[in-house]
Amino acid sequence: MPEAEKSVGLVSLQYHTIEEKIKFESGVEFGPITVAYETYGQLNEKKDNAILVIHALTGDAHAAGYRSETDTKPGWWDKLIGPDKAFDTNKYYVICTNILGGCSGTTGPSSINPETNQPYGTTFPVFTIEDTVRVQKKLLDYLGIESLYSVAGGSMGGMQAIQFVISYPEMVKSAILIATTSRLSPQAIAFNAVGRNSIISDPNWNGGNYYNSENKPDRGLSNARMIGHITYLCEEAMYNKFGRKLQNKDHYDFNFDVDFQVESYLQHQGQIFVDRFDANSYLYITKAVDYFDPEEKYGSLTNAFKNSSAKFLVISFDSDWLFPSYQSKEIVSALMNLSKDVSYCEIKSPCGHDAFLLEYDVQSKIIKSFLNDNIEEVKNE
């Protein structure tokens, strides 16, 4: 473990099993469900300083710190979570879970079905963002947390934060929504569909029953990741990083091998992804994202947010074409129509959608100010 300034240090993955069955939006009752999670900081006596941080599509519960002394890579939001950082663990008790359907400790398609002693595979029920939030609420109940000082997330994590405010409006004091949307555009759904089709078309997918086979749908999953990764960048970022540079050569090969650096980069991203993620989890989670649409469910975003008394911080990035700024502005507009307390900031960045994982300095200042304002309000009550 490297010497990291203001790090939360060594952390461990914890588990809680929800024994009772939970009724999903589809009508299916499912359980038991084990939830993997990490915590940082201390829960105060009033249990009112908890912040739920929610990961994006292919993330996990390891949001900050290091898992071992030899670990060289900290959690995915380590620069924002820790002592004196945006999510200040001297003040807050920060929780991050691996979501329902994941493959990093929480029950998902790769988990063992206790009734068959075999992996669930595609017998795992299709779930929604609302179902993932319901599971997270069960974990908070177990931890004895009745109110959240804030709920925060980027991308799909932001969708879950939106749903948390909608499902449990009395519980959430503030929400931080970063590079997110209240519903996918047809273009974004199309990219997810192509990714899923890539996996399903891989002969080794075998209807989702590949866990006991030596041959996994690695090619399909790798291609799905490559497709997805293109949407996380933007034209400027790709041009600045790669241009039209060739990969370890000074002329075209005039065949179908890799010629350009950008091709090699995408291949690498696909290859390393298959080592850490499950193909079926990718199918289920992207489908849950596609289904998310509180405007359709509640008639309008205004209706969806009407019961919330939370303060909101909405952040977007000008180069994000997957979840462009206009989608964040739609959320802000709905909240303003209700006279809710909402702050909005569009950050200039050349990083595309991935900016929420890369643009730490400016996000840190904005988030820290937002949370500190809430602290002052609590003190003045």
**Superfamily holding 14-184+294-380:** Alpha/Beta hydrolase fold, catalytic domain (3.40.50.1820)
CA–CA separation, 99 vs 136, rounded Å? Answer: 8
Percent above pLDDT 70 for the chain: 97
**Which one of the listed residues 316, 320, 325, 328 is annotated catalytic?**
320
Q: Is 353 a catalytic residue?
A: yes
Which structure tokens are listed for 379?
A: 């003190």
For 288-301, give one letter per residue: b (16+ CB within 10 A) or e: bbbbbbbbeeeeeb
pLDDT at 2: 56
**Which one of the listed residues 88, 111, 281, 353 is annotated catalytic?**
353
Q: Is 278 a catalytic residue?
A: no
Contacts of 292 (CB under 8 A, 6+ apart): 128, 129, 159, 163, 182, 183, 184
- Bridge partners of residue 291, in order along the sequence: none
pLDDT at 376: 47
pLDDT at 1: 60
- Find out if CATH 3.40.630.30 is the number for domain 189-283: no
**Do the domains 14-184+294-380 and 189-283 sit in the same CATH topology, yes or no?**
no
- Domain extent listing, the chain: 14-184+294-380, 189-283
**Which one of the listed residues 104, 111, 155, 281 is annotated catalytic?**
155
Q: Is 202 a catalytic residue?
A: no
For 71-108, give one letter per residue: b (16+ CB within 10 A) or e: eeebbbbbbbbbeebbbbbebbbbbbbbbbbbbbbbbb
Residues of the chain with confidence (pLDDT) below 50: 376-381
Please, what sign has the CA dihedral across residues 72, 77, 83, 86? positive
H or E segment to which residue 291 belongs: helix 279-291
pLDDT at 380: 37
Nearest to 144 by CA among 227, 55, 44: 44
Nearest to 101 by CA among 243, 326, 231, 281: 281
Average pLDDT over the chain, rounded to whole? 95
